[in-house]
Each structure stands twice: as structure tokens, then as C-alpha cells.
Structure 1
Amino acid sequence: MLIFVLQTLAEILAGGTSLTSTEQVDFSHPGNIREEGRGAILNLYVYDIRESKQLQHSGRQVERRPTQRGLQPVTVNWSPSWFDVSLLLTAWDRTTLGEHLLLTEALTVLLRHRSLREEFLVQELRDYGNLSMTVSLEPPIEVGSLWSALSLPLRPALYLTVPVPFETRPDSVPLVWERIISMQNQWQGNGDSTVVTKRVAIAGIVKNSVTNLPIAATEITVIGTEKSALSNQEGLFFFEDLHLGNYILRLNCPDYLPQNVNVLVDSPNYTFKEILLTPA
């Protein structure tokens, strides 16, 4: 179950922050990050697991189903055992300013959730309802002791606690939400603007990572679906009628390196993503 919690959080963070892929969310010991010499990443580290104080194991649940002959078949189920999983979230980048910006983005997207809604959870964690999530600036244990045990100096961090059920449950059907977006085209050379209103879930703009200019005719595909689109002359694109959840966009454009980008659809508002492509 720990893997499923980490997977859910990684998808939310990658889709809702400036990170473009879940591969930029690291789960190793934070003391190993600097040695790897990578770019901007979020480190999500599980540092404590203990029996939940909020939700306890309640024993057997008996369900009786009467039949026409008066017999009463009985089904006995065990309710799940709940454990509080405590995680340390830190941002790592080449500059302190970059780390602070990334950590601020992570805090913003996590506070938008407050809890892990069932429709965002991987299948193995569904059918329990929403999972409560505590986001704080202090860990459940003494902060100095935690960082001392990690053999690291104290640094800005977020401390997450998620009560997790340990039991396999049936699959559930994700919800489908409808999005409305108004995209204003401000890239026309004559200064005019065009407003396009569509029922969409994801919208974005594709730019050159060197010149920061929009890129037209980029093919964007939503992996796992039949949806695809081309960016217009201003680099804008959008997708309509998507399920609530996390998606991976595949971008291909001649003379540019292909790229995969995580995008999170998590609220009644549309999700707008700015994507930078690197010239080949």
C-alpha cells in the first residue's frame, strides 16, 4: 500500500507543479539527492509508520441476506487495519530560490486537496472513500530528532501524514467532470485578441525553451486515450471531455526533442500547462 500512496502523491505533485514528469519525484533517502547531481526534483521520503490514531481496526463485519426459503446466508468480512504513514517532502534544485519556488508550488497543490480524493487514488486504494491528509510545518515527532536521524542539517520541508488502509478492495468507477475554459489569444502581432470558449479539461501553450516563443503544429497526444491535437500558430492547444485524474501528454514536433508531461485535472477550473520544448 505504501507504493500506491507514493504513486498517488507523485502524480498529484507532477501534474500540479512545474515538474513535467513523475520521474522528477524522488523517493530515496534525502541525503543521497545532492550526490546524484540532477535538476529540480521533489523528494518524498517515508520516515514513519504507526497504527492510526484516527482510524482503528474494528474487527469483523457480518452481513446477513435473507432468502425466499427463510435461510440467512452470512458473509463475514474483516475491516481494514489503518496505519498513519508520515512523509517528509523537500525540494531540491541548483539554487535556493528555485527550491523555495518548487516547495511553494507543492504546498499550494497539496492544500488544494486537503485530503486525497478517491477519484485520484490508484485502484488499489479506492473504495474506502477519501483519505484524509495532514499537511504541516512540524512533524508528529520532534523536528530536531528527525533531521538528526537523517544525518542532514535542518532545511525547509513539509510533513505529510496519510492514514492508509491495508487490505485489498474492489475497483470503483472514477467520476467524470466537465470543464469550461476561456482562452484568450494574446499572441497576434496586430494586438487583437480572440476569445475561444470550449468545454475542456486540459489546455496549454507550447514554447521554445531557448527563445520562449510559441511553437505551432506540435502534435500533443493524451497517452491511454484516442485524443490528440495540434498547437495553433500561438502554440495553444486544448482537450475536451476528459475524466478527472492525472494524464500524460506526449509532445512531438519536427526539429524538437519529444517530451512527456504529467498534467493533473483536479478541480472545476481548467488545468493550464506551459510546456517548453528543447530544439534537437
Structure 2
Amino acid sequence: MIHEVDEVLKSLLKSGALTGSGIDVAFEAPTRDWAARRNAPVVNSYLYDIREDVGRRQRGQMPVRDQDDVVVKRRRPPRWFRLSYLVTAWTKTPQDEHRLLSAVLATLLPHEALAPSELPESLGALGLSVPLTVAGVHTESRSLAEIWSALGGELKPSLDLVVTVPFPAFPDYEAGPPVTEGATVLVGGLEGDPPMSTGRSHRPHQVAAARAARRKALGRKDATDRRTGRQ
């Protein structure tokens, strides 16, 4: 899942304002050694934090449908994870780095969410959009200064990019075959009559009403027979 998000970001960062610029996109940690080895302008997207977005966690099951819209499986809702990237620009002069960061910002801002069609097959199959947040409020437990200190480098201008992606929860459960026929209720006859099939489904109160009407009709018939016998 993470490597697929990397590919999406790489394709995204090379589009927009950076189309045709030839700027490379790297995902290595921007340490002093890495900075010393580079010999061309580059945009670095360093993944520094992975944690679950517990506010998006859901319970229960989700239906999985086939091409005929029939439920064939059920699965647990996906778990959402926030991937935080430290995006920096590396050139020979600060002015060029600022221009490059400006181009990156202009490229990312229109993409508040990535549609399923823009995602790799495994992510797009979930049918969920992936939100992107760029240069938002930094709310993680580690500050950017602490991250740069851990990398052993000097603080540089950077963009904080957060991609919140769904991760499938396994396993899937097979669903039973779909119901294609209605229920049939057999109503027991009165006074030894054989059960009669209604041929269609009834609700309990409908069955009770039918039995009451039959008893009432039989009562009227008995009363008529008694009067006829006295005459």
C-alpha cells in the first residue's frame, strides 16, 4: 500500500507546474550524506510518520458485489492510515529552492482528494477517494525541528504532505446465495380441512384475519342449519 502511494505521489509531483521540467523525485531520507551525493535539482518526499486515523475507524461489514450487483462476499471496513511526507526542494541556491517549492505547492493544491480512477488497482478497487492535505497544521507528536535533528541536517523550508489511505481489512467472508423467490405460508384448515397453500407470502396479521373470517362464515352456516331444522 505504501509503495503504491509513493508511485502516485511521484506521478503527481512530476505533473502540473513541473511538467517537462526534468526534476527528479526522491523518497530517501534527506541526510547530509544524501545531500552531498546529489548533483541535480530534486524534490525529496521523505515519509517520516505512519499512524492510523482512528476517527475514520468503522465497525460491521461491507458488501462486495459482482458485475450483476449481487452480493458475493462481505468484508470488514478498511482501516485508514495517515502517511506524512516531508517535501523539500534541493538546488544550488535558496531562490531556486523556493521557486521549486512554489511549483510543488501549485501542483498539489488542486488535488484535495484522489478519485479511485487515479489510484493503483488495489487501492482503486475499494472505490474510495484518498484525501490529501498539504502545508496543514502540524499536529503530530514530533515537531519538524526534531525530525531534522534526527536526520542530522540543518532545518530547511518544507511542505508537510499528509495522504490518508484505506488499507483493506482481511479476511473476506463468503455470502450466501441471493433470495430469488418469495416465502409461501401454509394456512391450516379448520374442522379437518387439509392445509391450503396461499401461493404467496402473507404477514402474520393477514393470516390471522383470514382465519377469523373463515370461523365467522362457518358460524353463520351453523346458525342457518339450526333454524332450518326447527322449521
Q: 2: distance between equivalents of 1:104 and 1:23? A: 14
Name the structure 2 match of 1:126: 124
Which has a greater percent of helix?
A: 2
1:80-125 Cα shifts (integer Å, max 9, x gaps): 1211111110011122111111110000110011222333222222
Q: 2: distance between equivalents of 1:165 and 1:157? A: 26
Q: Residue 19 of structure 1: CA displacement?
A: 5.8
TM-score normalised by structure 2 residue count: 0.61
Q: Does 1:79 align with 2:77?
A: yes
Compared with structure 1, are the counterparts of its residues 19 and 156 closer, same or farther at alpha carbon in structure 2 (3 Å cutoff)? farther
State whether residues 18 and 104 of structure 2, in contact with CA within 8 Å, keep that contact through their aligned partners in structure 1: no
Moved more, 135-144 or 148-157: 135-144
1:167-211 Cα shifts (integer Å, max 9, x gaps): 29xxxxxxxxxxxxxxxxxxxxxxxxxxxxxxxxxxxxxxxxxxx
Q: Residue 29 of structure 1: CA displacement?
A: 0.4
Stretches of structure 2 lacking an aligned partner (at least 5 in a row)? 170-231
Q: Residue 140 of structure 1: CA displacement?
A: 2.9
Q: 1: distance between equivalents of 2:136 and 2:128? A: 26
Name the structure 2 match of 1:48: 49
Name the structure 2 match of 1:9: 9
Compared with structure 1, are the counterparts of its residues 45 and 63 closer, same or farther at alpha carbon in structure 2 (3 Å cutoff)? closer
Compared with structure 1, are the counterparts of its residues 94 and 63 closer, same or farther at alpha carbon in structure 2 (3 Å cutoff)? closer
Name the structure 1 match of 2:148: 147
Name the structure 1 match of 2:26: 26
Q: Residue 62 of structure 1: CA displacement?
A: 5.3
TM-score normalised by structure 1 residue count: 0.51
Q: For 1:125, what is the secondary structure of its paired residue?
A: helix
State whether residues 47 and 83 of structure 2, in contact with CA within 8 Å, keep that contact through their aligned partners in structure 1: yes
- Structure showing greater radius of gyration is 2
Q: For 1:167, what is the secondary structure of its paired residue?
A: strand
Q: For 1:30, what is the secondary structure of its paired residue?
A: coil
Q: For 2:109, what is the secondary structure of its paired residue?
A: helix
1:243-276 Cα shifts (integer Å, max 9, x gaps): xxxxxxxxxxxxxxxxxxxxxxxxxxxxxxxxxx
Q: 1: distance between equivalents of 2:12 and 2:146? A: 29
Q: For 2:81, what is the secondary structure of its paired residue?
A: strand
State whether residues 18 and 107 of structure 2, in contact with CA within 8 Å, keep that contact through their aligned partners in structure 1: no
* Seq. identity, %: 33
Q: Does 1:103 align with 2:101?
A: yes
Compared with structure 1, are the counterparts of its residues 73 and 120 closer, same or farther at alpha carbon in structure 2 (3 Å cutoff)? closer
Which consecutive segments of 4 or more residues in structure 1 shift more than 6 A?
A: none
The alignment of Structure 1 onto Structure 2 pairs a total of residues equal to 162
- How large is the Cα RMSD of the aligned pairs? 2.8
Residues 224-235 of structure 1 mapped to structure 2, 5 A cutoff: none
Name the structure 1 match of 2:198: none
Which has a greater percent of strand?
A: 1
Compared with structure 1, are the counterparts of its residues 23 and 124 closer, same or farther at alpha carbon in structure 2 (3 Å cutoff)? farther
